[in-house]
Structure 1
């Protein structure tokens, strides 16, 4: 029975400004938290500190997937509805709805010092505003340390 206490790491990071769309940020996350390599078995939570952008995990190989995501989300949540909250522009309220639909956090298992994503999976920052600016996230990693 392993009685070694879990390790905990937490860090706030900033994603660079992105145009509206779906942007792979897996590498940015892993490079910002090198302590992942210390975890034998655990979890990483990535939590976005915004209400008009979101996070998701999906296909990381074909860039057409990113275009199709944007197309589908714009179809599901059009900007031309009769929104009441319009003070910050026509893309603001639809961005809030998209973020609520998709969610602002992802949790990924960690094993043997790496994220246990599937072969074709990556972490996406989903920018729903035309000019969203830099986005911040909190990374929280916990798990059993690798015995060395």
Structure 2
């Protein structure tokens, strides 16, 4: 009977929330979106402990956690990715949508399309210098959609 009471307590305080966050079109580069995500999810403040999972629904952009203070880090990341995965590479065959398309898919695969961030006492547990970064790898990528799933125990 005691195990059931514990399980019932876990279920009662369990919280799940999911929604789509639309990020307006951004120029090619690395963009800090931490505030956009926080503003879209005021429910974070209700969690005592939990996780926020962000899933980008695109194959030519990426998500990462990185420097949130000095914008030169983001421009250096863009420079490194462009140096490493060059446009107009002769052996690329997926070029119908432009010379930035196949390189964008490769960059997205290198970076990934998801991040998971712990939540404690109603706040994202990002380090002092950490932020959520959207990497836009296309010259004209359009709006980007992120599925945000928040799970945890209510405070």
**Which structure has the larger Rg?**
2
Partner of 2:3: none
Q: Distance in 1 between matches of 2:109 and 2:48?
A: 33
Please point out which of 13, 21, 24 is paired with 1:13.
21
| Residues 114-125 of structure 1: pairs in structure 2 closer than 5 A | 114-125=123-134
* Residue 104 (1) aligns with residue 113 (2): yes
Q: 1:80 offset after TM fit, Å?
A: 2.8
Q: Distance in 1 between matches of 2:127 and 2:74?
A: 18
Q: Distance in 2 between matches of 1:7 and 1:124?
A: 26
SS in structure 1 at match of 2:10: coil
State the 4+ residue runs in structure 1 displaced beyond 2 angstroms.
1-5
Partner of 2:34: 26
Q: Tell me the TM-score normalised to structure 2 length.
A: 0.92
Q: Distance in 2 between matches of 1:81 and 1:118?
A: 38
* Residue 4 (1) aligns with residue 13 (2): no
Please point out which of 119, 128, 136 is paired with 1:127.
136
Q: 1:13 offset after TM fit, Å?
A: 1.2
Please point out which of 69, 73, 76 is paired with 1:68.
76
* Residue 89 (1) aligns with residue 98 (2): yes
User: Which 5+ residue runs of structure 2 have no aligned equivalent?
Assistant: 1-5
Q: 1:4 offset after TM fit, Å?
A: 3.1
Worse overlay, 75-84 or 95-104: 75-84
Q: 1:15 offset after TM fit, Å?
A: 0.2
Q: Tell me the TM-score normalised to structure 1 length.
A: 0.96
Q: Distance in 1 between matches of 2:147 and 2:43?
A: 14
Q: Distance in 1 between matches of 2:88 and 2:101?
A: 12
Please point out which of 137, 140, 146 is paired with 1:137.
146
Give the structure with the larger helix fraction: 2
Q: Distance in 2 between matches of 1:25 and 1:67?
A: 15
